[in-house]
Amino acid sequence: MSNGHGTCLKCRGDVQVFGSRWCQECWYPGIDDGYQRYRDLIEEGHSRYQAKVMSGWGDPDEARDD
């Protein structure tokens, strides 16, 4: 059941804090910078898989599942 705070951009789970883009399990210092690098790589023409691995957003095996 959703808590009304939104959905985590990384795992799609419920966000526990209003205004955050990340759930408690996915958040770490610097996550916003990593996510921006991921988005920038996609805009540069890289596939989502390449962007995820290159930005450190996920390891190659984890990224392949997305």
Residue 25 to residues 37, 42, 44: CA-CA distances in angstroms? Answer: 20, 25, 29
- Is residue 36 within 8 Å of residue 24, measured between CB atoms? no
Q: Contacts from 14-17 at CB under 8 Å and sequence distance 24+?
A: none
pTM of the predicted model as reported, rounded to 2 decimal places = 0.72
In single-letter form, the type of residue at position 46 comes to H
| pLDDT greater than 80 at residue 61 | no
Q: What is the pLDDT of residues 3-55, one digit of tens each?
A: 567 899 888 999 987 778 999 898 888 888 999 999 999 999 999 999 989 99
